[in-house]
Amino acid sequence: MTEQIHNPMNEPRYCGIPTFMRTPLATDLSNLDIALVGVPYDGAVEARSGARQGPRQIRDMSSMIRAIHHVSRINPYELCRIADVGDVRFTKIFDIEASHADITGFYGKLHKAGIVPLSAGGDHSITLPILRAIAADRPVGLVHIDAHTDCCDEEMNSKYSHGTPFRRAVEEGILDPKRTIQIGIRGAANSADCWEFGPKHGIRIVYIEEFTKLGVDKVIAEARSLVGEGPTYISFDIDSIDPAYAPGTGTPEVGGLTTLEAQGLIRGLSGLNLVGADVVEVSPPFDSSGNTALIGATIMYEILCILAKKISSNPK
Ligand code: MN
Ligand code: MN
């Protein structure tokens, strides 16, 4: 294999076939700890589509990311076996529920192989079918960073949209609402139901105003104590970040996180019992500079570092 002959980090960044973080492209699941996965699907978006093109653009911009984290000094590639396993393949792309079933099938194989997935969307509807695969045997906790709760009951008379995944996940018993925290929530809604469903079931919502008052460290402390030692998933919607930094997304909301606050939040989740993560809603058609995709790639790398550290510390 070529990756044993040369180190891709030493190659010019514009060379070769782009994979997430310049990792090898793998089809064999027998020898991996962490899989980087693309989910190029945005069929559950009501307004500005384009996140289907997220994985390809994030892969390209992720060639900018080097190996060693400047704060933690973690080199994830020394700690774990990490590869890009390609994209979920869709068999009926115009059918939301069939597409979600394709996603669940793909992640079911990873889960069975004991591989932790770190994914790039796609719209936020993809998190529900991912959780159906990796939380099939027990509910998971969730650190959800987003401008929106994504706890609507319906959107355009559909139960499955990018505004509904976490409500469905609670209803299906795959998400533990008492071990769920949503951070960065803001923006007007046409019904207050999307903000009221969660707290009724035990979800903790940290609106952006409270986040600003508390600061990153206090929110981290609360998130850590809330999810505890149980299995925990991280779902990062790029629209949590202020559109001044990340305009390339379908549902931008002003008054958001800075990139540094978002990076600090992820670093603060180190050591949790992480079972997977995703970065969603990067939409290249609205990302004229490519910076939103670069932020998406950087957040994936931040998550990759804490995932690799945790997985490498688990007893074999
Ligand atoms: Mn979302
Ligand atoms: Mn959102």
Q: Domain for residue 65, yes or no?
A: yes
Q: Domain for residue 204, yes or no?
A: yes
Report the separation in Å between the CA atom of 251 and the middle of ligand 1, taken as the mean of its atom positions: 9
Q: Domain for residue 8, yes or no?
A: no
Element (H, E) at 130: helix 127-134
Q: What residues sit around ligand 1, an ion, with C-beta below 5 angstroms? A: 124, 146, 150, 237
Q: Domain for residue 47, yes or no?
A: yes
Report the separation in Å between the CA atom of 148 and the middle of ligand 2, taken as the mean of its atom positions: 4
What is the domain count for the chain? 1
Q: Domain for residue 236, yes or no?
A: yes
Report the separation in Å between the CA atom of 149 and the middle of ligand 1, taken as the mean of its atom positions: 7
pLDDT in tens, the chain (316 residues): 444 556 889 889 999 899 999 999 999 999 999 999 999 999 999 999 999 999 999 999 999 999 999 999 999 999 999 999 999 999 999 999 999 999 999 999 999 999 999 999 999 999 999 999 999 999 999 999 999 999 999 999 999 999 999 999 999 999 999 999 999 999 999 999 999 999 999 999 999 999 999 999 999 999 999 999 999 999 999 999 999 999 999 999 999 999 999 999 999 999 999 999 999 999 999 999 999 999 999 999 999 999 999 999 987 6
Q: What 3-state class would DSSP assign to 140?
A: strand
Report the separation in Å between the CA atom of 60 and the middle of ligand 1, taken as the mean of its atom positions: 23
Could you identify the residue written with the tokens 């509910």?
Answer: 139
Report the separation in Å between the CA atom of 124 and the middle of ligand 1, taken as the mean of its atom positions: 5
Report the separation in Å between the CA atom of 77 and the middle of ligand 2, taken as the mean of its atom positions: 30
Q: What is the pLDDT, as a whole number, of residue 120?
A: 98
Q: Domain for residue 145, yes or no?
A: yes
Q: Domain for residue 10, yes or no?
A: no
Q: What is the pLDDT, as a whole number, of residue 5?
A: 59
Asked whether 234 and 223 are in contact (CB, 8 A), the reply is no
Report the separation in Å between the CA atom of 231 and the middle of ligand 2, taken as the mean of its atom positions: 23
Q: What is the pLDDT, as a whole number, of residue 1?
A: 46
Q: What is the pLDDT, as a whole number, of residue 8?
A: 86
Q: Domain for residue 138, yes or no?
A: yes
Report the separation in Å between the CA atom of 256 and the middle of ligand 1, taken as the mean of its atom positions: 13
What's the domain range around 83?
Answer: 15-313
CATH code for the domain of 28: 3.40.800.10
Q: What is the pLDDT, as a whole number, of residue 2?
A: 46
Q: Which long-range contacts (CB under 8 A, 24 or more apart) does 271-274 make?
A: 271/306, 271/309, 271/310, 272/143, 272/224, 272/227, 272/232, 272/306, 272/310, 273/229, 273/230, 273/231, 273/232, 273/310, 274/116, 274/232, 274/233, 274/234, 274/306, 274/307, 274/310, 274/311
Ligand nearest to the CA of 280: 1
Asked whether 174 and 131 are in contact (CB, 8 A), the reply is yes
